[in-house]
Each structure stands twice: as structure tokens, then as C-alpha cells.
Structure 1
Amino acid sequence: MNKDNLQQISHLRREYTRGGLRRKDLPADPLTLFEQWLNQAVEAGLPDPTAMSVATVDEQGQPYQRIVLLKHVDAQGMVFYTNLGSRKAHQLAQNPRISLLFPWHMLERQVMVLGSVEQLSMLEVMKYFHSRPRESQIGAWVSKQSSRISARGVLEGKFLELKQKFQQGEIPLPSFWGGYRITINSMEFWQGGEHRLHDRFFYQRDGAGWKIDRLAP
């Protein structure tokens, strides 16, 4: 970005005109609305509609974010998979609290999720692992996620080596690969509105149900 463009970014804005979100339209359970919005994101042809920003915190309180794909959602929570030796996994071992953000910009929507994680059982992980494309299974073996490497060629060489090794038969599940289920404590739904009068609704667990508050934009 050149200097002129940098000077202009403070003036970049647009109106949000796709529609509002009204309390009368809210279901009692936030997952009902989430699944509706996710289906609409898929039907609208958004690239990577299941992509979510995953935020964790290290032992010094430094937040980290990265994009991860949501792989399952139901009444028990939301699920994603990762290398258990990764930075995020080490941070979640120290502090299981997590934040997710689904940025569906083209629909002028965001969903934020706050909760805590627990590791999935080996049976759940194995079932998903063997449903992945074979090359993705090999890729899980190749990368010691978040570790320093000297060059991309190191990864490519290891991939070819393991592709040859696992040429026949089922690829075993790596012991360092797993998944997490997020127990949801709260969810916020954001729908863009004209004149910056956005609609925000915050669901928070309240006993067996949910308390719903409208938030100022």
C-alpha cells in the first residue's frame, strides 16, 4: 500500500444495508440461530464459511489468534482438530478458555463465541482422521506445528518420504494429533445496520437456558 493509500484508510467505510436483526426473531437457543446463519453462509457461496478466528492466551497473558476450520457443531458444542504439540494446544492446556469469531463479511454478519475446551476422545478423533483425504492424513504426520524449520523443502521432502512409507494400507493416527470440543458459555450475534446502528444480541448461559441482551453498537 503506497503512502497516499495509507493516508486514506481512516476514511474507508460503507453502509451496511442487508437487513436488521430483531429480538422477536431470535430463537431461545443461540445454536439454532448459528446453524441458520451458517447454512445461509454456505448457500451464499462464501469462501470457507466454516473458517473461524481462534483466540487463546499464553502464560504471560499474551493473546494469539489463527484461522481454524469448524468441523462439527451440535448441542454439545463446537469441534475443531489440530496438532496437540501446537502453540494453541500448549496454551489451551494451561488455560482452557477460548474465543471464536466467524467473520461473514459478505452477509454483514459476525458471530463471537466464548467458552472452554476439552479434548475429544481417541475414538472421535480417529473417526474424523480417517474421513480426511489421504494427502491430508499424511500432512498431519509431516508437520510439527509451530516449530521452527529451515525451509519449505524440509516439509516437502518429509511429505514425499511418508507418502512412500504409507503407500499401502490405512494411515495410522498420529499420537500428537487430536481435537477439541468447545463448551459454549456465551455467543454474540452482530448484524450490520445503516448509519452504524448495528444490531448486537448477546446470549449468556442462565441455568438450563439462555439470557439474551441487546447491546449498543
Structure 2
Amino acid sequence: MDISSLRNEYKHSALSMHSVHKNPVQQFESWLDDAIDSEIQEPTAMAVSTVGKSGFPQSRIVLLKYLDNNGFVFFTNFESQKGKALGANPATGLLFFWPELERQVRVEGIAEKTSRDFAEKYFRSRPVSSQIGAWASEQSQTIPSRSYLEDRFSEFSLKYKNQTPPLPDFWGGYRVKPIKIEFWQGRESRLHDRILYEKIENDWKIQRLAP
């Protein structure tokens, strides 16, 4: 298969130092609003990259669930591959890609667990089937078959049939506190716009990068 000639010319928009918000979180919220308004499928999907004890980077897609000036929040099983990796090394990379808008956002930051109360509030907002799924899935562990997983789901469904499933001790949120956020806008002739925010003490330094 020859894929070397596959390419698109980017003409959707532009990004300048004068047009961006001084606060990168506000800039991100503006772009996320554009993605939502454009009815992009899964606009909050992001790749979370970690480096655990193995030394190899690992990436996977998760959904952003909260965002404020303190960081980007997602939820997971603490015993999963990413949970164990973050326990060994909290340095984290996030990547959002909205091809319909010819945009991507890269985040570098430090992940820390949210409070249990915060995690429980979100856990309660999930469908009951998803709450039971959190109990049933021994995330990232080797399992013998699909039926084993389905049997566990049935067992926990029966266990919590007449009660609200509690928040598992092994499940909760991570907040990635950003130290760098880069906004990328595709442009013609591969002369893309790249605007980088870098946190210096309590302020954000804004720079343009070569594509």
C-alpha cells in the first residue's frame, strides 16, 4: 500500500498571536465550543500519553469530563495501565485532534488525583450500567474470555439490583495541571500556525513556533 501521496491542503482558518486569548484555558474553551458547534463526533476525545516503569510511552483515547483553570480532568481505574503509569510518573501529555476544523491542541502537564468527593459526584452522574461496568472490569488485566467479563457484569448487576452502586476505591479522577499548551491550526503549503503557551511561575508566556 502506497500512502506517501495522500495529503490535503489546509484552508479552514488562521491563528495569530493577536487573536488568541491571554489565558490558554479560555482559548481552549473557545476551540472546544467550535468543535461542539460543528457537531464533530466525540469533540471531548483526547489521547492521554503516559510513561510508566517500562520507560515506553503509552497512549490511549479517553474523554475529557471537566475543565477549569486548574486543569483537564478525566476518570479511570487506578489499577489500569494508565493509572499505574501515572502512579510511577505523573508527567502527562494530552492531545486533542479536530480534523474537520484542521486543529489540534497539545498539553503537557502533571497529573494528580481529584478528591474522592469530586470523583463520586461524577460517578453518580453516570448511567447505572456504567457504574456497574466500573466494578465489573478489572481494567487492563488479562481475562480468559468475553463471557468472563459479561458474567462479572451480571454478578454485580445482581449484587446492586436494589441499591445504588458505591464508588469503587480503585476508581476516580485525574486532573492534569498544564505547564504547556500548544494550539495548532493547519494552513496552506504546510505553513501551519503554532501558538505555544508556557507557564512561567503564575503567568503564561505566549510564543509562535515554526511549523
Q: TM-score, normalised by structure 2?
A: 0.98
Deviation at 1:130, TM superposition (A): 0.7
Q: 1:35 and 1:107 mapped to 2: Cα distance?
A: 15
Q: 2:153 and 2:59 mapped to 1: Cα distance?
A: 27
Instruction: Specify the alignment match of 2:104 in structure 1.
Output: 110
Q: 1:176 and 1:80 mapped to 2: Cα distance?
A: 14
Q: 1:146 and 1:165 mapped to 2: Cα distance?
A: 23
Instruction: Specify the alignment match of 2:121 in structure 1.
Output: 127
Structure 2 residue aligned with 1:44, among 38, 45, 50? 38
Structure 1 residue aligned with 2:70, among 73, 76, 87? 76
- Superposition RMSD in Å: 0.8
Letter aligned with residue 140 of structure 2: S
Instruction: Specify the alignment match of 1:24 in structure 2.
Output: 18
Structure 1 residue aligned with 2:52, among 58, 63, 71? 58
Instruction: Specify the alignment match of 2:194 in structure 1.
Output: 200
Which secondary structure state, in structure 2, belongs to the residue aligned with residue 10 of structure 1?
Answer: coil
Deviation at 1:26, TM superposition (A): 1.2
Whether 1:164 aligns to 2:158 is yes
Instruction: Specify the alignment match of 1:3 in structure 2.
Output: none
Structure 2 residue aligned with 1:136, among 108, 130, 134? 130
Whether 1:180 aligns to 2:174 is yes
Letter aligned with residue 56 of structure 2: Q
What are the superposed Cα offsets for residues 64-96 of structure 1, whole Å, 9 maximum, x if unpaired?
Answer: 000011000001111000001001111111111
What are the superposed Cα offsets for residues 73-120 of structure 1, whole Å, 9 maximum, x if unpaired?
Answer: 001111000001001111111111000000111110000000001111
Q: 1:106 and 1:151 mapped to 2: Cα distance?
A: 38
Which secondary structure state, in structure 1, belongs to the residue aligned with residue 195 of structure 2?
Answer: strand
Q: 1:60 and 1:151 mapped to 2: Cα distance?
A: 26
Letter aligned with residue 93 of structure 2: S
Instruction: Specify the alignment match of 2:4 in structure 1.
Output: 10
Deviation at 1:58, TM superposition (A): 1.8
Identity of aligned residues (%): 48
Q: 2:156 and 2:54 mapped to 1: Cα distance?
A: 37
Deviation at 1:60, TM superposition (A): 3.3
Instruction: Specify the alignment match of 2:208 in structure 1.
Output: 214
What are the superposed Cα offsets for residues 21-47 of structure 1, whole Å, 9 maximum, x if unpaired?
Answer: 011101111011100000110110111
Q: 1:60 and 1:171 mapped to 2: Cα distance?
A: 34
What are the superposed Cα offsets for residues 138-173 of structure 1, whole Å, 9 maximum, x if unpaired?
Answer: 000011110001111111111112112111121111
Q: 1:149 and 1:169 mapped to 2: Cα distance?
A: 27
